[in-house]
Amino acid sequence: MVSSNNRLFEVLEYIVDLVLLNFLFIICSLPLVTAYPAFVALVGAIKDMSEGNQIPAWKQFFKNFFTYLKKGIKIWLILVVISIIIIGDMMAVNYLPNSLQNFLLPFNIIVAFLFLGIFSHLTKLIIMGEYRIKVLFIRSYILLFRQPLKPLLIIFIYSIIISLSVYLRFVPFIIAFSFLAFTCYFIMFAKEHEINNS
């Protein structure tokens, strides 16, 4: 009975930490330029928390945030420019004739998948300690082709979380961003952590 109570308290403490990290992410993302470093810090804090690091989650978040801030802003600006080009291209396709739209639609889907896949692997590589921007993008691109299912799974789960957040309007402010970061951690790191421990 005592062990089950301890387990319940551990789960509740984990949920409270996720809610706290969610609010810290929102606050640190308010100047939109820092949104990506804040997300990497969030994933890193959840990784440390899940793997038994004794540092409080909020302290780990701020430690990660200031570690990743400079490079994270540069990477975020590159990602924003690329996403604007992709979105602009998708919008421009709508004004083309139907035959061209049908031809370019698969191309746009592939480009969007490549972008989201590289984004997923970038986050992992930054947390693992790679800080050179050019190397980050090249290794992310290579990892995307070695492990294409991980980003696909992340995109699928992100879509579910975002859809639920739209219908359950209060959820995004409570824990939705932490769920997104936990998904990224679980798919990108958790299995490797289990293999290393066994």
Say if CB 26 and CB 42 are below 8 A apart.
Answer: no
Q: For residue range 88-116, list pLDDT tens digits in order.
A: 877 877 777 777 777 777 787 788 888 88
Q: For residue range 44-57, list pLDDT tens digits in order.
A: 999 988 887 778 88
Environment class of residue 154 by beta-carbon count within 10 Å: exposed (0-12), middle (13-18) or buried (19+)? buried
Work out whether the CA dihedral 31, 32, 36, 40 comes out positive or negative.
positive
Q: In whole angstroms, give the CA distance from residue 34 to residue 7.
A: 35
Of residues 49, 16, 11, 23, the one with CA closest to residue 177: 23
Q: In whole angstroms, give the CA distance from residue 195 to residue 141.
A: 24
Say if CB 60 and CB 66 are below 8 A apart.
Answer: no
Q: For residue range 152-196, list pLDDT tens digits in order.
A: 888 888 888 877 777 776 666 678 888 888 888 888 886 664 445
